[in-house]
Amino acid sequence: MAEAWVWLAQAIWLMLPAYAANMSAVKLGGGTPMDFGKVLRDGRRVFGPGKTWRGFLLGGLAGVLVGAALHALAPLAGNGLTDFGPGAAWVPIAAGLAFGALLGDATKSFVKRRVGKERGAAWYGPDQLDFVLGAWALALLLGEAAIWAGLAQENWLRATLTLPLAVIILVLTPALHLATNWLGHRYGHKEVPW
Ligand code: CTP
Ligand code: MG
């Protein structure tokens, strides 16, 4: 039983920079939209008004700061809670998880507009997992860049994200996401409860 809690803690821990980025974007977003209001030939916005530069940049930065804190705490936390790579490699890894989350979110919005769903409409599945897949994709890419740059010997994501952890994250994240969004709506930080 103790073992199960350790797995759960690790799964959440390594995704916290991505979760933090996603949540901070909601709180810190606003202003100029990432698509600058551009409408495509299907008559719909590129991303829509829900994706702003401030949300992307400040949300991503907040995720990197959370990554820095976890990286510093990892040796103290024990229980196999992971750091984010050797030396300065935590910077591209944390940035990959945080900004990747928001790029995944924006990519989802792009597709969501193309299939005709309005900004803020519920799209169960993509809405909850977009940022997980985006975080993994950019962390994988920047993990390779860290190797090329001589910052790391191995790809952090490939070494850290084992199959059982990936499965736990894919199952747990939608539940956590829906719960935090419901609370965010309840306490007035978010327009809709999903
Ligand atoms: N947000 C932002 N910039 C981002 C991401 C999010 O400003 N890059 C803010 C917006 O205020 C957005 C809110 O966070 O409305 C919630 O994010 P999300 O649920 O991802 O966007 P939606 O408004 O639901 O838009 P979409 O339908 O495109 O997902
Ligand atoms: Mg939404």
Ligand nearest to the Cα of 134, by number? 1
Distance in Å, CA 58 to ligand 1 centroid:
13
Structure confidence by residue, pLDDT tens digits, 160-191: 999 999 999 999 999 999 998 899 899 988 88
pLDDT at 78: 75
Residue with the bigger pLDDT between 109 and 1: it is 109
Whether 119 lines ligand 1, by a CB cut-off of 6 Å, is yes
Please give the Cα distance from 127 to 131 (Å, whole number).
8
Whether 184 lines ligand 1, by a CB cut-off of 6 Å, is no
Distance in Å, CA 109 to ligand 2 centroid:
9
pTM summary value: 0.95
Ligand nearest to the Cα of 51, by number? 1
Residue type for position 103: L
Structure confidence by residue, pLDDT tens digits, 117-145: 999 999 999 999 999 999 999 999 999 99
Structure confidence by residue, pLDDT tens digits, 58-110: 999 999 999 999 999 998 887 779 999 999 999 999 999 999 999 999 999 99
166 contacts: CB under 8 Å, gap ≥ 6 = none
Handedness of CA 24, 27, 31, 36 (dihedral sign): positive
Whether 49 lines ligand 1, by a CB cut-off of 6 Å, is no
Q: How many CA atoms lie within 13 A of 10 on its CB side?
A: 21
pLDDT at 1: 54
| For ligand 1, atom 22: residue with the closest CA | 120
Mean pLDDT of 5-28: 95
